[in-house]
Amino acid sequence: MTSSPYSRVLEALAFDDVLVVPDASDVVPGQTEVRTRLTRSIELNIPLISSAMDTVTEDQMAIAMAQQGGLGVIHKNLTSEEQAEQVRRVKRFESGMVVNPVTVGPDQTLAEVRAIMQHHGISGLPVVEPGSQRLVGILTNRDVRFAVDLNQRVSELMTRDNLVTVRNSVDADTARQILHKHRIEKLLVVDDAGRCIGLMTVKDMDKAVAHPLAIKDAMGRLRCAAATGVGDDGFNRARLLVEAGVDVLVVDTAHGHSAGVLKAVERLKAFDASVQIVAGNVATPEAAQALIAAGADCVKIGIGPGSICTTRIVAGVGVPQFSAVLETSQPAANSMCRALQMAVSAHRAIWSRRLGPGPMW
């Protein structure tokens, strides 16, 4: 007996096809905890990630997401250098200590200093000797505010006397006490040779208090993710992003179950195993397992399920999102046991009247 041609047509459900049945509860919203794990080494305080789209996530969105406990993925519709600079802006925005801060030399001019301050969005620069990097002063907005001669040297403007410095081992409470005692806003961190290795600011401490849910790395910097592609171009982009301090690389493609994506994940893991890798997009259990085997720390599930992400509509390829997540999660969980805590991320684009259009995982 010949099987029906329709036997290959499967039923699947989208999120709009299902509802959650309410049940009795004595829990109020303020008692809930929504922390989740993105990868084996990165936790999120809220389960939201902003999409790597040029209409959604650049440095400001990534900063806002990290401060609220989520994560922003900076899009790749930029040159590699521009994208890496956006990552650096996120990593510099809020720090327990700015490691290897931007510095100037005593012979640089006021014009150069103002250009550096504007480019990096900073108001204070340690002054170091060229070569030795020994700290000789600090230059702040207060020192240059009324200066008019653009050729004037830093050495003529900087504060050089009674510099307040600390060693790298200082804790946040002690640093705050020192800042208050000396009525200053920037605290210079030096090593035993007197070289400037860091900078602590009142502004960063205030940000930490204002955003208690912020997700940060081991050095107190906001976490940041960025998208990359496949092939040599994608690998070279990823190298610049790693050098800029990115926490998560997202191998971002419309079809994640492909040889190019699998090779890209393997290559990136071999390059730097400490950087966490999210790979996708996929919609089947076989695809998720292949990415896990290649070394992905998190798999992005979903092909074009949103109102402004039209891959499924244009290409006629994909699986309705509810079924995609449901069918992929169990095999991924089994692989997780073998791959030591593999995380699965579900990608869904939403429309919010308050925030405007934007994908959410």
Residue that is written with structure tokens 């890496």 in the block: 84
Query: Where along the chain do the CATH 3.10.580.10 domains lie?
Result: 98-202
- Tell me what pLDDT residue 338 has: 43
Q: Tally the residues of the chain.
A: 361
For residues 209 and 278, what is the distance between their CA atoms, to the nearest angstrom?
Answer: 30
Query: Where along the chain do the CATH 3.20.20.70 domains lie?
Result: 34-94+215-360
* Non-local CB neighbours of 197 within 8 Å, separated by 6+ positions: 99, 100, 168, 189, 190, 191
Dihedral of the CA atoms 114, 205, 170, 59 (nearest 10)? Answer: -60
pLDDT in tens, the chain (361 residues): 567 777 788 888 988 899 999 999 998 988 888 999 999 899 999 999 999 999 999 999 999 999 999 999 999 999 999 999 999 999 988 877 777 788 999 999 999 999 998 888 888 899 999 988 899 999 988 888 889 899 999 999 999 888 899 988 788 788 889 988 988 888 899 998 999 988 888 888 888 888 999 999 988 899 999 999 999 999 999 999 999 999 999 998 989 999 999 999 999 999 998 899 999 899 999 999 999 999 999 999 888 766 667 777 788 888 888 888 888 887 666 665 444 344 455 544 333 323 333 333 4
Other beta carbons within 10 Å of 161:
5
Q: Which CATH class is domain 34-94+215-360?
A: alpha beta
Closest CA to 220 of 173, 172, 188: 172
Closest CA to 225 of 355, 99, 63: 63
CA–CA distances in Å: residue 186 to residues 123, 240, 246, 258: 10, 29, 25, 50
- Strand-strand pairing, 276-282 and 248-252: parallel
- Strand-strand pairing, 348-352 and 356-360: antiparallel
Q: Are 222 and 44 in contact (CB under 8 A)?
A: no
* One-character DSSP codes across 303-323: SS-SSS--HHHHH-----HHH
Q: What is the CATH number that goes with domain 98-202?
A: 3.10.580.10
* SS3 assignment for 6-53: HHHCCCCCCHHHCCCCCCCCCCCHHHCCCCEECCCCCEECCCCEECCC
238 three-state secondary structure = helix
For residues 167 and 301, what is the distance between their CA atoms, to the nearest angstrom?
Answer: 46
Q: Are 288 and 338 in contact (CB under 8 A)?
A: no
Dihedral of the CA atoms 88, 90, 93, 96 (nearest 10)? Answer: -90
- Tell me what pLDDT residue 344 has: 52
Q: Are 273 and 252 in contact (CB under 8 A)?
A: no
* Non-local CB neighbours of 57 within 8 Å, separated by 6+ positions: 50, 51, 65, 72, 73, 74, 75
Strands (E) across the chain are located at 36-37, 43-44, 49-50, 71-74, 98-99, 124-128, 135-140, 165-166, 186-190, 196-201, 225-228, 248-252, 276-282, 298-301, 343-346, 348-352, 356-360
Which pTM does this prediction carry?
0.78
